[in-house]
Amino acid sequence: MSVPTGIDFGLHRVHVLVAGAAGGIGIEIVQEFLKQGAYVTAQYHNSIGSLPELQAGTDNLELFKADVTDEHAVRKMFSRGGEFFEQEAQVLIVNHGMMVEEEISIVDMELAQWENTMKVNLTGAFLLVREFLRRLRKPRRKFAPDLSKVAVVLLGSTSGEFGEAGYVDYACSKSALQTGFLLSIKNEIVKIAPAGRINAVSPGWVLTPKTKHILSDPEYLERTLATVPLRKVAQPIDVARQVLVLASSTFSGHLTGQNIVLSGGMEGQLLNPPGEAPPKHEEESNAGASSSTGSKPRKSMP
């Protein structure tokens, strides 16, 4: 049985459901809650990662494979998790998500990619939060939770804050999640749990197994950090601890509807790196065509 260690966040024996638990950030989130003595239902989809190793060392972790875009699978997951810990989930962490790695401009993007990204990132979040609140509104008789602990934490992105050329599907899904969705649910959750809260954490670049090969390129890393005052990339534990703070009613009991941008102070995206030739504009192209047919070239400004 896991017991709280270090600072007490008031999460001992609180049932936490973590969606997207098998990835680099998800694993850290699960571990942080287990350290607090929380009961954790960990959702994964394709890859289970190192979750079985974590489960081997505790009675407080239940693993569940589910597709978050399938409402029947989501319903079953909440039902099984509540039965396993004899308590409905009180805290929900929406950490799942997908992003097509290849950079594709909107003019070349297939509708199927757009729809799939929205389905996973946005519809998945909708189904998770909806089922979470439904079970709090009408909990099973023996599984009624302490409503003073109710919290939702969404995982957004700086892409949703600044936009992301070549990834318009991902940027739009995250922007909708960390803005319109967040601010709407903030005013609905209290109708079910008067002390219920919802907040978001929107990281910039985080060093995970998926991003390690990209960030190992010194030139790319330099461009990435060019607008970051702290001049460093976040670690998964940085995100996990921020999630823990927001989930805690002890430390964040009066915080709701907020999007915490965890980016080292990022000031947008570097669009025109030093040394990169600017694109030719139409006027310049036309001017070049005119001079080649005998017109006098324009004089340069002093």
Q: What is the reported pLDDT for 120?
A: 98
Q: Is residue 257 part of a domain?
A: yes
**pLDDT, tens digit, for every residue of 193-238?**
999 999 999 998 887 878 777 777 787 778 777 788 888 888 999 9
Q: Is residue 112 part of a domain?
A: yes
Cα 301 from Cα 24, distance rounded (Å): 54
State the chain's mean pLDDT as an integer.
Answer: 89
Q: Is residue 231 part of a domain?
A: yes
pLDDT at 293 exceeding the cut of 50: no
Q: Is residue 10 part of a domain?
A: no
**pLDDT, tens digit, for every residue of 249-275?**
999 999 999 999 988 878 877 677 766
Residue 283 pLDDT grade (very low, low, confident, very high; cuts 50, 70, 90): low
Q: Is residue 135 part of a domain?
A: yes
**Looking at the whole model, is its pTM more than 0.75?**
yes
Helix (H, G, I), strand (E, B), or coil: what is residue 9?
coil
* Token digits of residue 81: 């998790």
Q: Is residue 95 part of a domain?
A: yes
Neighbours of 184 (CB within 10 A): 12
Q: Is residue 74 part of a domain?
A: yes
**What b/e sequence results for 112-127 when a residue is b if at least 16 CB atoms lie within 10 Å of its CB, and e otherwise?**
ebbeebbebbbebbbb
∠ CA 101-24-151, nearest 5°, is: 105
Q: Could you list the residue range(s) of the whole structural domain that residue 99 is in? A: 15-277
Q: Is residue 52 part of a domain?
A: yes
Q: What is the DSSP string of 232-285?
A: SPBPHHHHHHHHHHHH-HHHHTT--S-EEEESSS--S---S-TTPPPPPPHHHH
**pLDDT, tens digit, for every residue of 36-71?**
999 999 999 999 999 999 999 899 999 999 999 999
**What b/e sequence results for 138-167 when a residue is b if at least 16 CB atoms lie within 10 Å of its CB, and e otherwise?**
ebeeebebeeebbbbbbbbbbbbbbebeeb
pLDDT at 297 exceeding the cut of 50: no
Question: Across the strands, what pairs with 63?
Answer: 42
* Token digits of residue 271: 């669009």
**How many structural domains compose the chain?**
1
We report the CATH number of the domain holding residue 117 as: 3.40.50.720
Neighbours of 273 (CB within 10 A): 10
**Considering just the CA atoms, what is the radius of gyration of the chain in Å?**
23
**pLDDT, tens digit, for every residue of 83-125?**
999 999 999 999 999 999 899 999 999 999 999 999 999 999 9
Q: What is the reported pLDDT for 234?
A: 83
